[in-house]
Amino acid sequence: MIIYPAIDIKGGKCVRLRQGRYDDMTVFGDDPIEMAFKWQNAGARYLHTVDLDGARGGSSMNRAIIGQIAKALSIPVQTGGGIRTMDDIREVLSLGVARVILGTSAVKNPELVREAVAEFGDKIAVGIDAKDGMVAIEGWEEVSSHRAVDFALKMQSLGVKTIIYTDIATDGMLAGPNLFAMKEMNDAVSMDVIASGGVGSIADLESLRDVGVAGAITGKAIYTGAIDLAEALKCIP
């Protein structure tokens, strides 16, 4: 299982949200590039980044910062947030990003996913953010009519190889991941499932590994010191 340290960027700063709420935000650093090097130096094999301003539909400087991170690091970087067209995908990949995550755009325009996978293959991932088992979109501020597992199977049928599955209720709470939801998803699909939300300890990471997911994202826990990333990577190499 790959552990993905997360860097969420809003207004050019490293931040964390609680349960996806933009009005409940903590700033953890003014320099996302410096933070990226910190996690790489701790031993991370892959980095997860999110453009929070883009996720809400706004244009931002964050995309350029994510490109600077991708070029500066020696490990691959995946990113999501505000990537809604083929031109967006091409632009982000041209910045050196290894994998693009489609979220709202995948729900609203599945044909984009089909086209993107046909052109870029496994460089395309889909982010599925669930609230009570239903897919949320627009930076988690709107809930769609799609059941998360059904939507995942649809993405699988379009050729998607990787999904990032977030349980919104647990995100940023450090109270443990929704293991039932993660197992249900992992058992339902043949894609790689990267679990996100609720990781608050190395034991949580070990539980996710035991569920069988391909990866786990850790955000708030490594910023608050609840998890020492280097130690976690020794426990789950």
- Render pLDDT for 190-236 as a digit per residue (tens, 0 to 9): 999 999 999 999 999 999 999 999 999 999 999 999 999 999 999 99
Exposed / middle / buried, residue 232 (Cβ in 10 Å: 0-12, 13-18, 19+): buried
Could you give the CA distance from residue 9 to residue 3 in angstroms, rounded to a whole number? 19
| pLDDT tens digits, one per residue of 150-194 | 999 999 999 999 999 998 876 666 778 999 999 999 999 999 999
Contact 56, 50 (CB under 8 A): no
Domain containing residue 79: CATH number: 3.20.20.70
pLDDT confidence band for 46 (50 / 70 / 90): very high
Residues annotated catalytic, as ranges? 8, 129
**Per-state percent for the chain, helix, strand, coil, to nearest 5:** 40, 30, 30
Question: How far, CA to CA in Å, does 35 sit from each of 10, 38, 51, 215?
Answer: 14, 5, 15, 20
Contact 135, 115 (CB under 8 A): no
Contact 150, 184 (CB under 8 A): no
pTM score of the predicted model: 0.93
Q: How many domains, in total, are found in the chain? A: 1
Contact 101, 109 (CB under 8 A): no
Question: How far, CA to CA in Å, does 107 sit from each of 41, 47, 121?
Answer: 36, 24, 18
Could you give the CA distance from residue 186 to residue 123 in angstroms, rounded to a whole number? 20
Contact 77, 66 (CB under 8 A): yes
Residue-range definition of the domain harbouring residue 179? 2-235
User: Does 140 have pLDDT greater than 70?
Assistant: no
